[in-house]
Amino acid sequence: MSVLKLIPPEKADLLIPKYGKECWENGVAILKEIGNPRNKKALPKLAALLQDRN
């Protein structure tokens, strides 16, 4: 996961896949570690996770 922390800010949204809930927890952990403003592009996808009822 340390390699994923080096992802460029413009690709941060790729850490939260549209499908594959088993990956969401890891993606959220990485986004939390890289912090704002580097994770800014992923914030809409993080908000969508809160709306998922499954």
- Residue 53 CA to residue 6 CA, distance in Å, equals 31
Q: How many angstroms separate the most distant Cα atoms in the chain?
A: 31
Residue spans per domain, the chain: 4-51
Q: What is the mean pLDDT of each run of 10 residues along the chain (54 residues)?
A: 91 89 89 95 90 70
User: What pLDDT score was predicted for residue 52?
Assistant: 67
CA–CA dist 26, 21 (Å, integer): 10
Among all chains, which residue has been given the structure tokens 């914030």?
43
Number of H helices and number of E strands within the chain?
A: 2, 0
Nearest by Cα to 46 from 7, 10, 18, 5: 18
